[in-house]
Amino acid sequence: MKILAAIAVWAALTGLAQAESINAGDRPTNPTKPFVAKEITRFDTPWALAFLPNGNLLVTEKPGKLFLVTRNGRKTRVANVPKVAAGGQNGLLDVAVSPGFRSDGKIYITYVEPAGEGSRLALARATLATAPNKASLDDFEVIWRQTPAGGGGQPGGIIAFDPAGKHLFLTVGDRMRPETAQDPAQARGKLLRLNLDGSTPADNPHAREGGVPAQTWTTGHRNPYGLAFAPDGELWLHEMGPRGGDELNRIEPGRNYGWPLVSNGDNYNGTPIPRHATRPEFTAPVLYWTPVIGPAGLAFYEGTMFPNWRGSAFIGGLAASALVRVTFDDKGGADEADRWDMGARIRDVAVGPDGALWVIEDDNPGRLLRLTPN
């Protein structure tokens, strides 16, 4: 009996007793691609892409450049981009188009900015001004800055707007200081919910507390590089685990997702981290990957070019050098349906107005690819 009890404890600590999430690790790569990848143009370490209403794209380069790109690959460098603290995982990060772009012409960017001897994540918005062969960020304003400053990589910095276009969600990584993800006073390891001007919504879970707690929607995240609303209005976030345990999480306000107190991976030095099953007060991922895929970018497909993929989510794989398709069931579950070897680290993925999939490679040069049915 003592032996059986010891086995049960070990199973709980290692996650064998966990039934609330599915491991998608060690899935075979699908060698048959149902798409043709066409190179459109190339960039120096591209980080994010976003579509404008007219079908043109905005693409960020991590070293600090932003480009306006036509669908046939003609690039125009956008002026007035702020100085960034570029190096390692830091630099110019996400770009997102305002829900009211047709009337206000605004875009949002995130970047890691110099802050004394350190750095901090910043969120800014500006008007995208365009003319023949010219583009610039006018009326530039920083609407949120990470507090306190300092930290290493893992900045997060992904932007998503709610379906009503009233609020902005922003991922903030732990900046390689794991313990800060559980500190309510620090803007690290959190998902924030803001008004479009960067102010705090009055109906946030802890709005009355002020400061970082008032802006926090969820907590306990490590390195979140994917955030998107599904067609049914559910918000999903993925984040990189340590040595194992990349996560796909359904986001619910006020929840704590456990990092660094629980994980489905272990520390890089091999020491174990308790699994989610041992701490039911923390919300477990719906889907996780061990071995890791290094998830980056997240887009839900509702186009017509690939009708069988409607409702699926697409995730870029950095560690896996792959494009991953995830499907969802009517019981709230998710599972990896396909994984295609792309021969390069995939940093971001987006769906074009015509239903084509677009991806960028995390490389210098990194290609912008348009995927259409073969």
Predicted local distance difference test score (pLDDT) of residue 31:
76
What is the CB neighbour count within 10 angstroms for residue 199? 11
Predicted local distance difference test score (pLDDT) of residue 20:
57
Distances (CA, A) of 136 to 170, 226, 373: 24, 27, 35
pLDDT bracket for residue 82 (50, 70, 90): very high
Contact 269, 286 (CB under 8 A): no
Question: Chain-centre distance of CA 313, in angstroms?
Answer: 13
- The percent of residues in the chain predicted with pLDDT above 70, rounded, is 95
**What SS3 class is residue 316?**
strand
Domains and CATH numbers, the chain: 18-373 (2.120.10.30)
**What SS3 class is residue 124?**
strand
Q: What is the pLDDT of residues 46-67, one digit of tens each?
A: 999 999 999 999 999 999 999 9
Q: What is the pLDDT of residues 171-194, one digit of tens each?
A: 999 999 999 999 999 999 999 999
What is the CB neighbour count within 10 angstroms for residue 145? 16
Contact 21, 287 (CB under 8 A): yes
Res 73 pLDDT > 50:
yes
pLDDT bracket for residue 4 (50, 70, 90): very low
Contact 206, 189 (CB under 8 A): no
Residue 75 burial (C-beta neighbours within 10 Å; 0-12, 13-18, 19+): middle
Span 266-277, average pLDDT: 96
Terminal CA-to-CA distance of the chain, rounded, Å? 59
pLDDT bracket for residue 29 (50, 70, 90): confident
The string of DSSP letters for 223-269 reads -EEEEEE-TTS-EEEEE--SBS-EEEEEE-TT-B--TTT--SSB-TT
**What SS3 class is residue 6?**
helix
How many CA atoms within 13 Å lie on the side-chain side of 41? Answer: 17
pLDDT bracket for residue 260 (50, 70, 90): very high
The structure tokens listed for 223 are 């390195």
Predicted local distance difference test score (pLDDT) of residue 188:
98
What is the CB neighbour count within 10 angstroms for residue 242? 20
Kindly report the average pLDDT of the chain as a whole number. 94
Contact 151, 176 (CB under 8 A): yes
Contact 222, 183 (CB under 8 A): no
Contact 138, 80 (CB under 8 A): yes
In eight-state DSSP terms, residue 326 is E
